[in-house]
Structure 1
Amino acid sequence: MRNQIRLEDYRTPKAKIFTGRDRGIQVREDSKIDKLEEEFSIIEFIIPTNLYSINPSFFEELFVNVVTKLGERGFYDKFKFINEGNYNYQKPLDEAVTRILRKKTALDI
């Protein structure tokens, strides 16, 4: 089964960026991403048009639980990113995933 999370649904009106840990936490809670991850085999994550930036800290807090649970490969296998605009989200997303996994590794030692 598939489900979609449309980042547009969580955008502040007219905002061109998603930034900050607090905002990432809020979108994680509002989207119920952790519950959706348990219920669906594929989750399409839709990046909206007209964005200038998504900071790694936003992605880090948004995806911390699912990346920690699934690992890098499992996360990218389950979450399919669809970009409706031109913003290159991949670099900040990869940086966030790396940070999450590095924190987990440091804590496990």
Structure 2
Amino acid sequence: MKSKENKIYLEDYRAKGKDGNIAKVFTGRDRGMHVRTSAKLDELENKFSEIEIIIPDNIYSINPSFFEELFINVVLKLGKDEFRKKFKFTSEGEYNHERALDEAIARILRRNSALG
């Protein structure tokens, strides 16, 4: 695993299929929760003023549900604008994560408003 204290390398959390191939998608709430807890994202958020999320190359898709569960706690704590200031995204390939991330943030905030 690569190690920089305030960086989360999604490469470290790619699923491996039964055929041994590495997944090219990040999908589902369960996967998002796994990455959140394994990477200790909530603890990192408390410790650092900036967190960098590194998206590996050859990713085809990151679903909003994955982002939603990965970032639910920090988005609820910080709000959209402060989350965007604190969390920086770097893609090692061509994948554009913005649409899925925006949708996830909107879902988190909408769900929280409905519950509140």
**Root-mean-square deviation over aligned CA pairs:** 0.9
TM-aligned CA deviation for residue 37 of structure 1: 0.2
Q: Output the amino acid matched with 1:44.
A: E
Q: In the TM superposition, what are the counterparts of 1:1-109 in structure 2 within 5 Å?
A: 3-13=6-16, 14-108=22-116
- How many residues in Structure 1 have an aligned counterpart in Structure 2? 107
Q: Output the amino acid matched with 1:36.
A: L
Of all paired residues, the percent bearing the same amino acid is: 63
Q: Provide the TM-score with structure 2 as the length reference.
A: 0.89
1:55-87 Cα shifts (integer Å, max 9, x gaps): 000000000000000000010000011111101
In 2, distance between residues paired with 1:12 and 1:58? 13
Moved over 6 A (4+): none
1:13-35 Cα shifts (integer Å, max 9, x gaps): 41100001111111110000000
Q: Which runs of 5+ in 2 are unaligned?
A: 17-21
In 1, distance between residues paired with 2:70 and 2:109? 14
More helix by share: 1
Q: Provide the TM-score with structure 1 as the length reference.
A: 0.95
Match of 2:6, SS? strand
